[in-house]
Amino acid sequence: RLLTSRRAPREEPHWVLLSFCRYYFPCQRWLAVEEDDGQIARELVPVDEAFVKKDSENEGQSPATLGLEQKAKSTTYSVKVKTGDKKNAGTDANVFIILYGSKDDTGIVSLKASKFNKNKFERGKVDEFTVESVDIGDLKKIKIGHDNKGNSTGWFLEWVEIDAPSLGQCLKFPCGRWLDKSEDDGAVERIIFPAELQTVEYIPFVPYEITVYTSDIFGAGTDADVFIVLYGSDGICTQQKSLCLNKREQRMYFERNSVNQFIVELEDIGDIIEKIRIGHYGGGLNSGWHLDRVTIRRLLPNGK
């Protein structure tokens, strides 16, 4: 990533699905400490479409698939919120955010499910949330605040960081003020602008459609945190990325004889996927997993 203080105007990409970018990765093995060879991650190489054509012919445009394609056309923002390390800095109130872009805004988005902390907005903690939106253009400012409800409502907000991988932008919004009826100016919501010198730009990520098939054998499903890495030519690869956003999704997906689809934004490794690494972190109950196969389609912007 490169640190820069200026951003050139960009034309936002419109993502479309190109069917010829589908790759097939058979597995048909356990990823379990107590089964097979005890490995919980495997590297898979693609095979010709004919090996799995019979099953793939049954893949239709289900409502879930159409919903994922709509998701691929949206921008996903990772929103990190730092609560100050001061006495009574945390809040029990309901926090919201609005992202304002050069074209539109997201409307009010409730920050309910923190990725790392069960208790949100505690003193000195950083909470992370996922916000999805249609194209709002370049991010210009945010409004963040709370409803002043609960036992301890006052909140000291240190900063907000917003990362949009598909746009190649990470912006920092410093605050360092109270959102409290009895502190500072009494406001419980604030409009914040990005710190230009802390703006980070990098090569935009692209979305991949990843379909995971869990086998139809006893005990095949898993509640573990499943991850994937994609490898392109010339040794390039993506980061190791979890397919589920939280533990609730881990419990919902990867059941026996299930098909789960994900739109995952990753580094662009080019037109060729030479192999993938897929596995889980183990631990907890029901972590063993029997993976049948994985299919992957790369989403490309118009004109590519």
> Would you state the pLDDT for residue 303?
40
Q: In what order do the strands lie in the sheet with 75-83?
A: 2-3, 200-201, 169-179, 155-164, 75-83, 126-133
> Would you state the pLDDT for residue 64?
47
Residues in the chain: 304
Burial class (CB in 10 A: 0-12, 13-18, 19+), 302: exposed
- The answer as to CATH 2.20.28.120 being correct for domain 14-60+205-298 is no
What whole-number distance in Å separates Cα of residue 240 and Cα of residue 261? 17
Phi/psi of residue 245, nearest 5 degrees: -80, -25
- Residue-wise pLDDT tens digits, 228-280: 999 998 889 999 999 998 888 999 999 999 999 999 999 999 889 999 999 99
Task: Using the structure block, give the residue that is written with the tokens 């919201």.
Answer: 96
> Would you state the pLDDT for residue 98?
96
- The answer as to CATH 2.60.60.20 being correct for domain 75-201 is yes
Coil, strand or helix at 293 = strand
- Closest Cα to residue 243, out of 224, 258, 257? 224
- For the chain, the structural domain boundaries read 14-60+205-298, 75-201
- Residue-wise pLDDT tens digits, 76-111: 899 999 999 999 999 999 999 999 999 989 999 999
What whole-number distance in Å separates Cα of residue 132 and Cα of residue 164? 10
The pTM score is 0.71
In order of 22, 61, 222, 261, 262, the CA distances from 66 in angstroms are 17, 6, 26, 11, 12
What whole-number distance in Å separates Cα of residue 167 and Cα of residue 269? 16
Phi/psi of residue 142, nearest 5 degrees: -135, 155
Task: Using the structure block, give the residue that is written with the tokens 């596995």.
Answer: 279
- Closest Cα to residue 148, out of 105, 94, 110? 94
Same fold, 14-60+205-298 and 75-201: yes
Strand pairing report for 155-164 and 109-110: unpaired
* Type of residue numbered 150: G
